[in-house]
């Protein structure tokens, strides 16, 4: 399978390039990057034969079957449509869009084009969350509450690698999207109640720097989510599952019980790298002609919930 990675030299583009190296039968034949930096040197260093700053140039190539979009959030919707209209399968890094209307359009175009359309909702694939999901499906666990903290120190436009961004990140449409989708995935349906509170907006970035979100599932389970770009301390997202049969703390690909005893996840998946597991699902769905886990359609309910929260601010 021949793949193009757009936004290849960004923090998550590099994560996808590294992940693809671990997957047999997949080759990166093209990368798309911005105008800054040595894109040619980056491509040659990784043995990639084609590089461009124009996504349409890659979409016109016969040696591109699928595209991974690791580009700025504000570009996802238009680029996703362009990929599918060109007959290319597409994996869009989370979020698929920064509003509900564009998200609905992506789902509509995917159905019309008949290609695989997927979103990089990595929490569905992290072994830690897979372990919990498997036990829920087996009837061994029932969530009472998810208590989640998403904390960063980003008072300037910096990416996950500490490099300057040309775009502005968003607590609701990006970082809250992870937890909203995961809560609905783990509880089996769209939240029946959802609300949010936002703190002061940054004078230059024009976004809320702190946020609190509450969700409730049809089962009665609740989710309490705290988000901040002002946190000067341990960074990342930390999930506490309070269940009827134990408490579990997920930190990305690692899982602990409520007493901080690490849980062995070695048999959960073929890798302990959530990004690699996303990519494996994407390529497998293409080869098998099926809908992937975290398809555009499956992730649309999370976007509906985010829209409800935003309209309540």
Q: Which pLDDT score is estimated for 168?
A: 80
Find tokens 């349906």 and name the residue.
189
Per-residue pLDDT of the chain (313 residues; tens, 9 = 90+): 999 999 999 989 999 999 999 999 999 999 999 877 789 999 999 999 999 999 999 999 999 999 999 999 999 999 999 999 999 999 999 999 999 999 999 999 999 999 999 999 999 999 999 999 999 999 999 999 999 999 999 888 776 667 777 778 899 999 999 999 999 999 999 999 999 999 999 998 889 999 999 999 999 999 999 999 999 988 899 999 999 999 999 998 899 999 999 999 999 999 999 999 999 999 999 999 999 999 999 999 999 999 999 999 9
DSSP 3-state assignment of 140?
coil
- How many other C-beta atoms lie within 10 A of the C-beta of residue 152? 20
Cβ-contact 237, 148 below 8 angstroms: yes
Q: Which pLDDT score is estimated for 160?
A: 62
The listed CATH number (3.60.20.10, 3.30.420.40, 3.30.70.120, 3.30.360.10) that belongs to domain 123-269+302-311: 3.30.360.10
Taking the CA atoms of 293, 123, 263 and 187 in sequence, report the sign of the dihedral they define: negative
User: Per CATH, is 2-122+275-293 categorized as 3.40.50.2300?
Assistant: no
3-state DSSP of 116-135: CEEEECHHHCCHHHHHHHHH
Q: Which pLDDT score is estimated for 167?
A: 73
Residue 110 structure tokens? 């995917």
Residue 290: exposure state from Cβ atoms within 10 A (0-12, 13-18, ≥19): exposed
Calculate the alpha carbon distances from 269 to 16, 87, 177, 272, 279 in Å.
18, 30, 24, 7, 13
- Provide the whole-model pTM: 0.94
Residue spans per domain, the chain: 2-122+275-293, 123-269+302-311
């Amino acid at each position: 399978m021949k793949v193009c990675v757009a936004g290849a030299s960004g923090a998550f583009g590099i994560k996808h390039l590294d992940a693809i190296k671990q997957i047999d039968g997949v080759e990166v034949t093209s990368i798309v990057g911005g105008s800054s930096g040595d894109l040619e040197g980056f491509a040659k260093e990784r043995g990639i034969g084609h590089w461009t700053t124009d996504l349409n140039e890659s979409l016109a190539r016969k040696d591109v079957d699928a595209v991974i979009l690791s580009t700025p959030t504000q570009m996802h919707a238009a680029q996703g449509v362009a990929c599918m209209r060109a007959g290319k399968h597409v994996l869009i890094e989370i979020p698929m869009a920064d509003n509900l209307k564009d998200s609905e359009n992506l789902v509509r175009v995917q159905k019309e084009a008949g290609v695989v359309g997927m979103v990089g909702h990595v929490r569905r694939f992290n072994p830690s969350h897979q372990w919990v999901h498997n036990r829920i499906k087996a009837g061994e666990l029932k969530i009472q509450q998810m208590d989640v903290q998403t904390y960063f120190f980003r008072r300037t436009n910096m990416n996950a690698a500490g490099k300057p961004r040309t775009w502005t990140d968003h607590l609701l449409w990006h970082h809250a999207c992870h937890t909203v989708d995961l809560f609905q995935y783990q509880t089996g349906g769209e939240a029946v109640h959802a609300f949010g509170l936002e703190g002061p907006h940054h004078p230059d970035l024009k976004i809320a720097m702190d946020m609190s979100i509450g969700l409730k599932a049809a089962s009665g389970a609740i989710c309490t989510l705290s988000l901040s770009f002002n946190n000067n301390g341990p960074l990342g997202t930390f999930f506490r599952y309070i269940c009827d049969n134990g408490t579990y703390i997920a930190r990305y690909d690692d899982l602990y019980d409520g007493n901080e005893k690490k849980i062995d996840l070695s048999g959960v998946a073929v890798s302990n790298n959530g990004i690699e597991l996303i990519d494996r699902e994407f390529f497998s769905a293409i080869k098998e002609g099926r809908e992937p886990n975290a398809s555009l359609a499956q992730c649309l309910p999370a976007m509906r919930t985010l829209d409800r929260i935003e309209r309540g601010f």
